[in-house]
Amino acid sequence: MSGGYAYSCGHAAKGLVDVMRLLGAEGLLQAQPDAGLVRQWVRQCDACRRGRNPSRCLGWETVVDRGSLVLGPIPQRRGPTVRAEVSATCSFERSAPGRQPEWIAKPLAHSTVVVEIFGVQSDDLVERHHVDLANRGQHGPAWHFQYGGNPAGGVEKLPTGWLQEPRWPSAPLDLTLLVELLVYNFFPEQWSRLNGQGEWLRLIAETEDLVISHFARHMAHHFHRGAGHRDRTWLAAQDNAEFDPRPL
């Protein structure tokens, strides 16, 4: 991306369409979602819906319901074949337009990305993991990983669905980066091939810049000072009460 207005609803939708196309070409998706459906996952702001200049963009919300995006089947060496269902609600919305440095300094207003692992034969929920940007005032790291949680949509609750802690500190993830992480874990050969493609690498690198770079700069600032000069731990630097990466 280049220019002062690199991020917009249209750019986000096109990027997600391209990611899904490349995943489908590698045979990683249980069903290839139609490009029109993928574009609907990106809920555009009023300015972009009206065809305004990207400089007027007020951000988008990426919403994917369970069952819309499924990776697999995934054979396991010690267990049944599984599938990974991905869902997400990631809001890049903001109250005023901004240039690229403003977008990457505080990219996400709120974010939850979820992976649920189902047995293919049994159709039982085996595991549920999610990475969240904490709500304002919530205890724990601003960006965190959690195990368990209660699924929506009539799926039977996990025995640990009531468990809220621990919230493990995590680097930020949005939908695209969660999908890449799953491919990296479950399909290493295909992940290597994708990383050999300039288009895939560009799409992931652009997403890293938008979603993760604010966190990388924040933690680099913490560790730039030697141990004898730091006045807090790395966990305190990530505490939700101290670290607020959300746009105003």
Residue 70 maps to a domain: yes
Residue 154 maps to a domain: yes
Structural domain containing residue 21: 9-238
Q: What is the pLDDT of residue 4?
A: 55
The secondary structure element, H or E, covering residue 90 is strand 79-91
Residues 27-59: b if buried by 16+ CB within 10 A, e if exposed: ebbeeebeeeebbebbbbbebbeeeeebebbbb
Written as six digits, the tokens of 102 are 């403003």
Residue 168 maps to a domain: yes
Q: What is the pLDDT of residue 5?
A: 65
- What's the CA gap between 136 and 131, in Å, rounded? 16
Residue 3 maps to a domain: no
Residue 245 maps to a domain: no
Q: What is the pLDDT of residue 180?
A: 98
Q: What is the pLDDT of residue 193?
A: 98
Q: What is the pLDDT of residue 151?
A: 83
Partners of 144 in the beta sheet? 132, 169
Tally Cβ neighbours within 10 Å of residue 123: 9
Low-confidence residues of the chain, pLDDT below 50? 1-3
Residue 96 maps to a domain: yes
Residue 244 maps to a domain: no
The structural domain count of the chain equals 1
- In eight-state DSSP terms, residue 141 is B
Instruction: Note the Cα 243 to chain centre separation in Å.
Output: 19
Residue 20 maps to a domain: yes
Written as six digits, the tokens of 237 are 């630097």
